A and B are shown apart, each in its own frame.
Chain A
Amino acid sequence: MNSSFPKWYYSTSLFLWLLSIILVDDFGIGFVGLCTVLTLWQASRLVTKPSVLSIRFINLVTLLGAIATASLIGLKNSVNVFVALMLVASLLKQVHATHARQFTQICILNFFTYPCLFLFTQSIFAAFLVLILLAVNLAIMLNLEQNLRFKSALKISAKGLVLVLPVATLLVIFLPKLPAFWQLPAPQNQAKTGLSENVDPFNIANLSQSSDLVFRASFEDTQQTGPFYWRAIIHDEFDGRQWKVSEYQGTNIRALPKDPIGTATIIAQPSQLPWLYGLSYSYSTNAKLNSNVFGTVYLKNLSAKPVEYQIDFTDFEPQDSLRPWYYSRNIALPDDINQQARQLARDWDSQSTTTSQFIELMKRYFLQNGFVYTLTPTTTQSDNRIDDFLFSSFNGFCGHYASAAAFLLRSAGIPARLISGYLGGEKNDNQGYYSVYQYDAHAWVEYFTPGIGWQRLDPTAWIAPERMTGSLSQLEQLSSEFKSGLGYSLIGLSNWQSINWLRLQLEELDYQWTRVVINFDKEKQGALFKEWFGSNGQLWAGIFSLFMLLLLSIALFYLSKQLTRHKCPIELVYYNAIVSDFKEQLSGTTAKQHIVELCKLFPELEVSLWQFYQLIEKSQYQQKPLNKLELGELKRLYKSIKRKARK
């Protein structure tokens, strides 16, 4: 192999490998393995000096790589496959690149490969990472073109990128937000942890916890206090195995039935489900969203970008009765299963006269039988899974308790439904917003009492009341269990105060980034223009941006001129300016001769001309750089000579 390229060029391989690791959730561990193998191959070729690969061999490997990539990811996820193919192509191309031309191709390809990360995440860290990777990429190209050393090449490319930032900001703010001409299908995540439309807690042996952000919420009224039950999915149909999402989740309403008691702004991260998050009974006027009869909101179209929306929320409306068909829907249970539980419910029903008494009995049962909250519950495949839970295993997490409670309520003829969503959230004290992570996922029950309406019941609160007050991450008994499920993440280190502080700061930065940059959409742009330029905001903004563009291009023009001229020290710039004004021929005549001639032309300037010459002489011939004072003097002389001579 031709090792004429500097070793640092191959940092590109490492970067691509890093990208594959970052995207492991989307691409799968197999693909990371493939990238690792390719990177190691590259590394081994760097250390040893193997022969140049034959074209046939390269083609074969490329074909194999493409097939392996496609089979590891599956052709269904077209976006994922394309991104993965680009990664593999870039890696493979580096293995056999021997000419500068080939490496240039790689760099150009990487200008497209790196930003693909934005398809999967738009956090500020991704933006930073991509910026850095692009800087290195640019440095490699500069090195290929101009043979600069790594440090100076990187300096130039970083400087260039920093210079571009104001332009980018200008473009973001002023470029009209046109609808996309065509749209890439959003990359499909393999269902991560978090919510699913059908809840079957008994099938889960180890509730895997993820510290991925789900959404951030801030209240207009900062006095709002928790616990916050963020409702997302309503499950009102139980088939004996799982709680299914309600058919009416998509039935919309037009307005809130009552006056709102609060307003919250929520920025939801992209998800594979349309169901968004709201408090008790919510309604949103956002054009991208629908509000349904259950008081939850959902997206009209899935988005690969974080969605920012506002909800008005209120308490449940008192209701005397449910409509008969809806009543029967909310007490329906499959026959012949969980007979023991049904019997228990019937016993309690006969012992109690009101729903609250019934619930009291249920609570006592849970508390007296030593039920345990755990993230690693006993699994069961039996049809009578609720019986197993209530009478033999006595352990589970929120899903188990909610499921069992809803079953018991329904058995006693009390309308009940299962709600999944999130509980709580981590409050940022500086900005007053709440961050809700996947591990805050929760399930609870809502039951109906005639005259009162729907009410919330969280049976998990009986078993683990601490769960109500804080985020799961702060729960001490579960911390080891929780952290082992979490994998590697900063949250796992939140015991250390400084690290936790750092994590919260980074979190806040990302919040601002998402709020200000990512979600800067047409409406926000319009609002901003209005604020800046008044009612005719759009027009003025257009004029302003055109003006700025003009200004920018003029600045660039002069900058480029300045840069080419900059090779010349400023002293000579002055000198040349003076001399070229009065003499056509520059070359051949020395500075002294010029000055003598100029003295003849302008005898009155003789003193300043010789002073000027002396400074030029000092800087140019005595090799003594001028200090600031002398430079100022030079500039003054230059200006006075020019001015007087013009007359």
Chain B
Amino acid sequence: MNEEIKKLTDALSTVILEKPEQIKLAICSLLCRGHLLIEDLPGMGKTTLSHSLADVLGLTYRRVQFTSDLLPADITGTSIFNREHQSFEFHPGPIFSQVLLADEINRASPKTQSALLESMEEHQVTIDGVSHELPSPFFVIATQNPQHQSGTHPLPESQLDRFFMRISLGYPSEIAEAQLIKLAGKARKLTRAPQVIDGKTLLAYQQVVPNIVLSDAIIDYILRLVNYTRSSGQFSDPLSPRASIALAAASRAYAFISGRDFVIPDDVQAVFTSVCAHRLGVTTTNEAEVQTQVFQNVPVH
């Protein structure tokens, strides 16, 4: 494993116990400048993960708790009349940070959701005809509850696509949970993950990832996977070319994390579900089943 990245995962592992895969995938998404959707039941550590990610990377971090009455301006910011200067002044919203945690994104109204997703795509916010650049790196971690929870507005498929990956943490093991119980109640400062790298280093990493070798054999494998979702007829929303590109990028990042400068099929398989399941419209509960089915039907070579 890449030494630098190992420090990152180690630091995160002190907070998110025994979830190395999910941690790697989250970093993967970061390295690809992709936004991350964490889907899980309440109280599973979604917020903690996103919080810690910002901490270890040393990025500015804001959190917005999405509710049904949240308005777009509450995220993007708004212009307010300043009497002294006799002019409108722009007050940036919480989106103007390097990491935005959009907690419980499916609780907000579609209007607010789409305002956020638009700025995620454009990396800028336009208010009163004036464009405001978002900081770089800019990274949104959204969490959401599975849709059978009441009072939610599920994200439409087209907008789910904006998220590079969807991961879920799942229940911790007994040992991990016991440790969590022990730690509970202590001041947050004590349980906080230390900063490992800074924004500049992250940018440098992000530039290395596209140079990871993606051989023809791997491209063929990716194409076979994507084509399977299109031709098998089992998926109502087969993968788009954007998905194949994302799959390739994620595989590269995963190879980078693993300390290789080339992609192997194992990388592709490792990121496949996180990158593709939400695009295929597969619910978190079905993920494992679908993954087995796809991998079994698509030969690696």
Interface residues of chain A, those whose CB is within 8 Å of chain B, are: 568, 572, 575-576, 585-593, 617, 620-623
Q: Is the CB of A576 within 8 A of B301?
A: yes
Q: Is the CB of B213 within 8 A of A588?
A: no
Q: Is the CB of B265 within 8 A of A590?
A: yes
The residues of B that contact A575 with a CB separation of less than 8 Å are 301
Q: Kindly state the separation between the CA atoms of A617 and B301 in the bound complex, as whole angstroms.
A: 12
Q: Is the CB of A593 within 8 A of B297?
A: no
Q: Is the CB of B262 within 8 A of A588?
A: no
Q: Kindly state the separation between the CA atoms of A617 and B215 in the bound complex, as whole angstroms.
A: 10
**Count of chain B residues with Cβ under 8 Å from any Cβ of A?**
19
> Is B263 at the interface (CB under 8 A from chain A)?
yes
- CB A484 to nearest CB in B, in angstroms, measures 67
Q: Kindly state the separation between the CA atoms of A588 and B266 in the bound complex, as whole angstroms.
A: 10
Which of the residues A572, A587, A620, A622 comes within 8 Å of B296, measured between beta carbons?
A: A587
Q: Is the CB of B298 within 8 A of A588?
A: yes
**Most chain B CB atoms below 10 A, which of A587, A590, A592, A622:** A590
Q: Is the CB of B213 within 8 A of A622?
A: yes
Q: Kindly state the separation between the CA atoms of A33 and B194 in the bound complex, as whole angstroms.
A: 94
> Is B217 at the interface (CB under 8 A from chain A)?
yes
> Is B134 at the interface (CB under 8 A from chain A)?
no
Q: Kindly state the separation between the CA atoms of A587 and B221 in the bound complex, as whole angstroms.
A: 11
Q: Is the CB of B296 within 8 A of A592?
A: no
Contacting A at CB under 8 A, from B284-301, are 295-301
> Is B167 at the interface (CB under 8 A from chain A)?
no
The residues of B that contact A590 with a CB separation of less than 8 Å are 264-266, 269, 300
The residues of B that contact A589 with a CB separation of less than 8 Å are 300
Q: Is the CB of A588 within 8 A of B301?
A: no
Q: Which A-chain residue is minimally distant from B255 (CB atoms)?
A: A621
Interface residues of chain B, those whose CB is within 8 Å of chain A, are: 213, 215-218, 261-266, 269, 295-301
Q: Kindly state the separation between the CA atoms of A575 and B265 in the bound complex, as whole angstroms.
A: 15
Assess A621 versus B218: contact at CB under 8 Å? Given A590-B264, A592-B266, A593-B266. Answer: yes
Q: Which A-chain residue is minimally distant from B301 (CB atoms)?
A: A572
The residues of B that contact A617 with a CB separation of less than 8 Å are 262, 264
Q: Which A-chain residue is minimally distant from B295 (CB atoms)?
A: A588
A-B contact pairs, 10 of them (CB 8 A): A575-B301, A587-B296, A588-B296, A588-B298, A590-B264, A590-B300, A620-B217, A621-B263, A622-B261, A623-B215
Q: Kindly state the separation between the CA atoms of A589 and B262 in the bound complex, as whole angstroms.
A: 19
Q: Kindly state the separation between the CA atoms of A43 and B215 in the bound complex, as whole angstroms.
A: 47
Q: Kindly state the separation between the CA atoms of A121 and B295 in the bound complex, as whole angstroms.
A: 64
Assess A591 versus B301: contact at CB under 8 Å? Given A621-B262, A622-B262. Answer: yes
The residues of A that contact B300 with a CB separation of less than 8 Å are 587-591
- CB B154 to nearest CB in A, in angstroms, measures 31
- CB A589 to nearest CB in B, in angstroms, measures 7
Assess A623 versus B213: contact at CB under 8 Å? Given A590-B266, A590-B269, A593-B266. Answer: yes
Q: Is the CB of A621 within 8 A of B213?
A: yes
**Most chain B CB atoms below 10 A, which of A587, A592, A593:** A587
Assess A621 versus B215: contact at CB under 8 Å? Given A576-B301, A590-B264, A592-B264. Answer: yes
Q: Is the CB of A586 within 8 A of B299?
A: yes
Assess A587 versus B297: contact at CB under 8 Å? Given A620-B215, A620-B217, A621-B217. Answer: yes
Q: Which A-chain residue is minimally distant from B299 (CB atoms)?
A: A587
Q: Kindly state the separation between the CA atoms of A354 and B263 in the bound complex, as whole angstroms.
A: 110
The residues of A that contact B216 with a CB separation of less than 8 Å are 623
Q: Kindly state the separation between the CA atoms of A622 and B218 in the bound complex, as whole angstroms.
A: 10
Q: Kindly state the separation between the CA atoms of A239 and B189 in the bound complex, as whole angstroms.
A: 137
- CB A110 to nearest CB in B, in angstroms, measures 39
